[in-house]
Amino acid sequence: MNDVIQVRGLELAYGKEEVLSGLDFDLPAGSVTGLLGPNGAGKSTLLRVLATELRPDAGTVSVLGLDPRRNARAVRRAIGWVPDRVDLPRWMSIDDHMRFLRPFYPTWDKAEVARLLELFELDPRARIADLSKGQRMLEALVAALAHSPRLLLLDEPFSGLDPFARRRVFDGVLDHLRDAGKSVLVVSHSINDLERCCDRVALLSEGRITTCEDIEGLQRRSARVAVSLDPDAVPWSPPGEPIIEETGADTATLFYLDWSDALAAELANDRAVRDLDLLSRDLEDVLVASVARERTA
């Protein structure tokens, strides 16, 4: 599978504040990847570099085989970009905006614009000033999809949307992926939303991508384990490298990011362990644990 994004050694700072620090990242063609991380981790900064809005201080970037610094116009024509905030003249109508954008994109599809506006229940005559925050996000998504981009970059596309509008965003993104090879990179604080529409997840922490893999594999490799111990065996050291979430007089709750049958057998055969139970965990638990391990490494 070819990569539509390849980033190596990316560095970018705002003044003396380093935001991206030697970041490496690949995005496979045909994937929907969620980009997650703590506030201030640099998620929006990375998207703005990919969208040609920011120039990095060091490193190499390839978007659809193009260098965003040397081929900014070609990159902008090939991608669909929805930033977290879109500032348009308040007097402008949706139709005005679409007619303004059309000359910049040789592959602009007026019929697709009409279809998307109907799907998102947007009136092309409506003024930007009269749109809600959610409607503005949907309008920006129409503008991003109108030229059938090979790569879609979305920064907080679910922010301010009600459940019905969220469903329309899902429908628009998934419909975009009907053609083989098209890809999406989406930033969101809503892990539940990302679980619904993404097949991969990348975690940005401390200026670098620390985790990047398919969601099923990430969840399959992790486990939360409740351990009951023989009081005479305390203090006790667990095998492997778990994150210790809770400890009691003779109990411990452990989170493993690298769970395996071998670790399960080692715990089961440990004479200090009276009992162990596998507890429920979700993607949010996995990502919080990943950040915690990175910060203590």
pLDDT digits (tens, 9 = 90+) for 185-215: 999 888 888 888 888 999 898 889 988 888 8
Measured CA to CA in angstroms, residue 64 lies from 47, 157, 181, 182, 184 at distances of 14, 22, 11, 11, 12
Residues 249 and 159 in one domain: no
Residues 265 and 130 in one domain: no
The pTM score is 0.86
From the list 53, 66, 56, 71, the residue with the least C-alpha distance to 24 is 56
- Residue 142 sits in a domain whose CATH number is 3.40.50.300
User: Domain end: 171, 194, 214, which one?
Assistant: 214
Domain count, the chain: 2
From the list 63, 86, 53, the residue with the least C-alpha distance to 8 is 63
Give the residue numbers spanning the domain of 268.
Answer: 223-280
Question: Which pLDDT tens digit goes with each residue over 243-275?
Answer: 888 887 788 899 998 898 999 999 989 988 999
In a domain, 297, yes or no: no
- Asked if residue 174 has pLDDT above 80, the reply is no
Question: Which pLDDT tens digit goes with each residue over 217-238?
Answer: 888 888 999 999 888 877 888 8
Confidence band, pLDDT 50/70/90 cuts, at residue 180: low
In a domain, 288, yes or no: no
Residues 177 and 94 in one domain: yes
Residues 28 and 91 in one domain: yes
In a domain, 286, yes or no: no
Measured CA to CA in angstroms, residue 14 lies from 5, 40, 60, 143 at distances of 23, 12, 18, 30
In a domain, 295, yes or no: no
Residues 6 or more apart whose Cβ sits within 8 Å of residue 54: 12, 45, 48
Residues 199 and 254 in one domain: no
In a domain, 251, yes or no: yes
In a domain, 117, yes or no: yes
